[in-house]
Amino acid sequence: MSSIPSPGHLPRGAVRHLRAWGTTVTLAVDRREALAAAETILRRDLDAIDGACSRFRPDAEIWNLHRSDGRYVRVSSLLFEAITVACEVAEHTAGAVDPTVGDAVSALGYDRDFATVPALGPSLQHRPRPARGWWCVELDERTRSVCLPPGVILDLGASAKAWAADRIANRISSITDSGTLVSLGGDVSVAGPPPPGGWPIGIALDASRAFGPGPVVSVSEGGLASSSTAVRTWARGGRRLHHIVDPATGDCASRHWRLISVAAASCVDANASSTAGIVWGESAPERLEAMGVHARLVRHDGVIVVVGAWPPDNPGGRAPRPKPKPEPLAS
């Protein structure tokens, strides 16, 4: 979403930028000689995960589930793990981030790769309906099979990108013996020994655009992710919509927060928390603090709230929730 490696501080000659999954992908390693092998791993894994999990590809493996009419379907280890992670995220966030929102997201107009979603359109024809809930997804680990009730469409977008970033960063670091950063559209995961001072990550509204101004934090382990109600937007019947859906209503989450950035023990945890924070609205700071993550929340009126050890944007100034100035962030 909105967390981007700060280009001036990445290892020179050991960085690649490419486009995949409709967004910007950044790969950085701390050993130049590891870059070619790292890029090969990255591209192969992205292709494999997209072929398993994409709801925008009718040939993706996940559509075998969507067409299964309530029967158990044996799936690949990649898809089984992705769905398992999505259900664990749903449970961890008390249903605020739920993979069964696929129908709801499509009904709001996000039914294809975002680059091809019409920016304007007529009013929605149907009232939003709550998601069925992750508990309706049956997982059989012994046979690596999944059963969905008829009509349930999974949208793994809220967790699969972060899971992929964690998975790929750890694989690259393990195989190449190099400190590694992987950013998939701003879902950032780091693995292995970090560069001196940690990996610098800039916080910007839209990670799919060129690098821009914004606060920079240092991450030495784990992951960092941002969620925004102001980037992936479109309009239907004059109503502005965005891609983060509240499973309890099937409608877009409230626009209380413009941007939430979270650092946590993994990119999956960071993304789950930032997305859930958008859905939780006004109560997000207290809930995120209880989860033990570090976060920066930007309200639509520009007020900034920090949680945990997240450094204030202006350490010498007055913040809505003052915190002692921390050491460089290591989550």
Q: What is the mean pLDDT of residues 75-87?
A: 97
Tens of pLDDT, residues 292-318:
999 999 998 889 999 998 988 764 333
77/9: higher pLDDT: 77
Return the pLDDT at 267: 96
Tens of pLDDT, residues 30-49:
889 999 999 999 999 999 99
Q: What is the mean pLDDT of residues 272-294?
A: 95
Q: What is the mean pLDDT of residues 316-329?
A: 35
Token couple for 110? 């996000």
Tens of pLDDT, residues 118-174:
778 888 888 889 999 999 999 999 999 999 999 999 999 879 999 999 999 999 999
Q: Are 216 and 200 in contact (CB under 8 A)?
A: yes
Return the pLDDT at 314: 60
Confidence grade of residue 112 (pLDDT, cut at 50, 70, 90): confident
- Mind spelling out the 3-state secondary structure of the chain? CCEEECHHHCCCCCEEEEEECCEEEEEEECCHHHHHHHHHHHHHHHHHHHHHHCCCCCCCCHHHHHCCCCCCEECCHHHHHHHHHHHHHHHHCCCCCCHHHHHHHHHCCCCCCHHHCCCCCCCCCCCCCCCCCHHHCEEECCCCEEECCCCCCCCCHHHHHHHHHHHHHHHHHHHHCCCEEEEECCEEEEECCCCCCCEEEEECCCCCCCCCCCCEEEECCEEEEEEECCCCEEEECCEEEECCEECCCCEECCCCEEEEEEEECCHHHHHHHHHHHHHHHHHHHHHHHHHCCEEEEEECCCCEEEECCCCCCCCCCCCCCCCCCCCCCCC
Whether residue 258 is predicted with pLDDT greater than 50 in this model: the reply is yes
CATH topology assigned to domain 54-157: T-fold (1.10.3980)
Return the pLDDT at 6: 57
Token couple for 104? 């709801």
Whether residue 8 is predicted with pLDDT greater than 80 in this model: the reply is no
Tens of pLDDT, residues 182-235:
999 889 999 999 888 888 888 876 544 433 446 788 889 999 999 998 888 888
Domain ranges of the chain: 54-157
Confidence grade of residue 5 (pLDDT, cut at 50, 70, 90): low
Q: How many residues does the chain have?
A: 331
CB atoms within 10 A of CB 250: 20
Q: Are 201 and 5 in contact (CB under 8 A)?
A: yes
Compute the mean pLDDT over every residue in the chain, rounded to the nearest whole number. 85
